[in-house]
Every structure is written in C-alpha cells, then in structure tokens.
Structure 1
Amino acid sequence: MTGMRVLIAAALIALAGPVLAVQPDEMLADPALEARARELSKELRCLVCRNESIDESNADLARDLRILVRERLLAGDGDAEVIAFVTDRYGEYVLLRPQKTGVNLILWGAGPVLLILGAGIGLAHQRRNRLSRETPPEELSTAEAARLRAILQDRDP
C-alpha cells in the first residue's frame, strides 16, 4: 500500500508542472502576442528571486517586467527589440541565458576547459601511478640492509 502512495505522489508531482505567476489582468487579448510574451518572459530573470524567470515569479518587480514586455509587444517591437530594451534598462544579468559574446565567452568556455584540464590531470596521475608500479624497487645497499637489521633487532622485545 505504501508503494502505491509513493507512485501516486510521484505522478502528481510530475503532472503538476511549474506554477506560473502571470495574472489574468496581465494577459493580452491576442493569443499570438500572449504566446510571444510568455516565451520572452521565460528568458528573463526575476531580479528579486534570482533564478526564477519573470514568468514564474510572484515578485512585484517580475510583474512590472511582465507588463513591460507586453507593452513593448503591443508597441510593435520584435522579440529581439524587447530583450534589448529590458537588457539596456536592467543590465545583462536579467537574461537567464547570457549572450555568448565578450567577457561571457570566459564563462561559457570555463566549464569545458576545466573538464578537459581535470581529465588530463587525472590521466597523467593514473599514468604516473601505473609506471611507478611497473618499475621494480631498487635493492638496498649492504650498508642500508645492515642498518635496517639493526633497527629491527632493537625493536624486538
């Protein structure tokens, strides 16, 4: 019976999906414009909630940004123009997916570069380990062997 409850709970969670914060009074009458506004809203970060889009956030600033996006669309702006307008006003941080230009190239490239660097270091370490196991250890000289015997005899009770 417990397994069935877990399955039902998992199904409900999977079907729930994200709860969107768009209010009915914000929605546009034109379904095509509203669909564009929703897509654009998913690309813009809520500056209060940080890692939520303005489409998902209930913050007042997110509401203001959703209304601003819709106003720009009603004014005839294209998608790129709306994004540029909001970015000019609030900075590039408002984009959930930063542009792949300028300084951002460092951020986009850092992950793969560090992954390759880590893999190279790991392979070099494994190779060094394997080589050290393959080479036989040097034998003790006569003086070293005598010293070792003396140390071991001193330890015996």
Structure 2
Amino acid sequence: MLKKLFDVLLPQNVTILEMSIVGAILSTLLVLGSISAMTGLNLPWIRTLWLDKSWVQLVLATPVLLWCGADFFKNAWKAFKRHTATMDTLVAMGTGAAYFYSLFATVFPGFFTDAGLMPDVYYQLPKKRIRQKHHFLMATPYPSMAKSHKGGTHQGKE
C-alpha cells in the first residue's frame, strides 16, 4: 500500500528541478505568511492574501512535505524495513513530527490554549535557565580551560 502511495506522490516523469521550483514557491509563500507572527510586524497585504491563516499554511505545507519530500519518506521506509537508520530517517521523522504537531494544532486549536499553553510553547525556555547557561558559558568558555578557584587563589595543578 505504501508503495502505491509513493508512486502516486512521486511519479517518474517529474524532475527534481520541477519539484524544487514548486517547493520553493510554496515555501516562500509560507515564510511570507509567517513573518507577521514571527516578528510582530503588521503587514496588511499578508492578511489580504490569507497567508497568515493556519488552514492556508497547512494547504501550502502539505504538498511540500508529501510531494517534494517524498524521497525522504520513501528511503526512510526502506531503511526501517532493513532495521537501520539513515539521514533520510532523521529528516522524515523530524519533518513528519513537526507536520503532525502543526496539523494537530490546526485541527484542534483550543487544545493548547484550554490547557493554558500557546501552541508554540516549545520555543520558549525559562529566562532563569537561559541566564544560568549564559553565565556559566561566560565564566568558563571551554570546559578544558576551566580551573578551580577559591577566594581568587588557584587551587588546581599548573
């Protein structure tokens, strides 16, 4: 059944150049539609084209993933049947997980907000953790160069 699906999604007479052009056009529209949400800019022409609507973005992203990225899924499936993993497996799992997460957030928009979460909550790290990591990295830029100090005197071996 998956072989038939891949044959439908990836016909033999379509070149990689054609798929790349279609993918680039659709991806450009996706980026343009996401600019206002990512940057906070008010761009009325994006709203006029409905590019900021999640359903429109889902319709634009689906052919990019399933048609332009069909080779990744096809090769990942072959690797899965051989009980191995390749870079295609990594790409297919990552893009597939992101797509299905976005699909879930689009179909059930109230799921996250009813729980008090924003759908893009995975981008946000607590500020305290960021400051701690930044302080540690500034204090010891390279673990191999870090030395133990107490009261300003060196306690380690030279």
Which TM-score applies when normalising by structure 2? 0.25
Q: Mark the structure with the bigger radius of gyration.
A: 1
Which TM-score applies when normalising by structure 1? 0.25
